[in-house]
């Protein structure tokens, strides 16, 4: 089995992520490149550790996190399926069948409407990915463009985003600070209800409740 550090050195993977960043930037999406991949990998490893998954599962979660969006340059709408297959093509000799299928399952699950969890790595990846909302993800820095796009507005309004795992209370809480002058909290929900439903389902599978705190208000 490879480690995340080894995966990060693979020139194909790095190129896929670079191409994804380029193609999504061209279509005006929020940031989906190396920064998002690195953050999701880091967050996935931390969640896996905090809920006491094995060291191997922590590594697999981090690897799935790093690679989850890398096929978006092929197709945005089907990037989860393509990403899963690309991972297999690149690394088929580097992981055991059980390790590689867990990563493939996690990547292919992360953007589907139906949530059917069959291993904790899939759930960890969803929590790590869907909680990444932040000002820095807005690529178009012109204020008039930001104001015109609700995704950009909501990301831009988020000045702090943190995921906390309380193992004793069995709660995973997303803590956000939103600049309410920039975007009403209601607008935030318009965009993020689906993400929160994903997070709640993923947390539930792991035996946790999902909580949401925005500007010190406990909303979930
Ligand atoms: Fe994705
Ligand atoms: Fe993502």
The 10s digit of each residue's pLDDT in 122-176 is 999 999 999 888 777 776 656 666 666 777 777 778 888 899 999 999 999 999 8
Question: What pTM was computed for the model?
Answer: 0.92
Separation of CA 3 and ligand 1 centre (Å)? 22
pLDDT for 13-39, tens place per residue? 999 999 999 998 887 777 888 999 999
CA-CA distance, 81 to 188, in Å (whole number)?
A: 28
- Percentage of the chain with pLDDT > 90? 64
Q: How far is CA 78 from CA 13, 86, 132, 199, in A?
A: 18, 12, 20, 20
Among all bound ligands, the one having the nearest atom to the CA of 132 is 2
122 Cα–ligand 1 center, Å: 13
Which-ligand-closest: CA of 36?
2
**What class is the 4-157 domain?**
mainly alpha
* Residues measured by CB to lie within 5 Å of ligand 1, the ion: 69, 111
For the CA atoms of 148, 151, 153, 157, the dihedral, rounded to the nearest 10 degrees, stands at 180
| pLDDT above 90 (res 11) | yes
Cα distances (angstroms) measured from residue 181 to each of 135, 157, 160, 178, 184 = 14, 8, 15, 9, 7
* Distance in Å, CA 39 to ligand 2 centroid: 10
- CA–CA–CA angle 85, 29, 5 (5° rounding): 45
For residue 125, the CA-to-ligand 2 centroid distance in Å is 9
């Amino acid at each position: 089995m490879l480690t995340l550090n080894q995966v990060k050195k693979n020139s194909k993977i790095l190129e896929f992520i670079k191409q994804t960043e380029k193609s999504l930037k061209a279509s005006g999406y929020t940031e989906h490149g190396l920064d998002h991949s690195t953050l999701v990998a880091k967050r996935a490893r931390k969640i896996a550790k905090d809920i006491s998954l094995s060291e191997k599962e922590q590594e697999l979660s981090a690897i799935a996190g790093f690679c989850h969006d890398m096929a978006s340059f092929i197709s945005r709408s089907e990037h989860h399926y393509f990403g899963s297959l690309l991972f297999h093509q690149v690394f088929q000799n580097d992981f055991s069948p059980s390790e590689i299928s867990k990563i493939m399952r996690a990547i292919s699950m992360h953007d589907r409407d139906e949530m059917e969890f069959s291993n904790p790595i899939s759930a960890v990846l969803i929590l790590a990915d869907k909680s990444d909302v932040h000002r820095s993800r807005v690529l178009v820095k012109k204020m008039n463009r930001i104001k015109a796009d609700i995704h950009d507005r909501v990301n831009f309004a988020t000045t702090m985003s943190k995921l906390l795992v309380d193992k004793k209370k069995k709660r995973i809480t997303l803590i956000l600070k939103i600049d309410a002058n920039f975007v009403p909290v209601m607008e935030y929900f318009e965009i993020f209800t689906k993400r929160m439903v994903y997070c709640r389902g993923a947390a539930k599978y792991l035996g946790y409740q999902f909580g949401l705190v925005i500007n010190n208000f406990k909303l979930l």
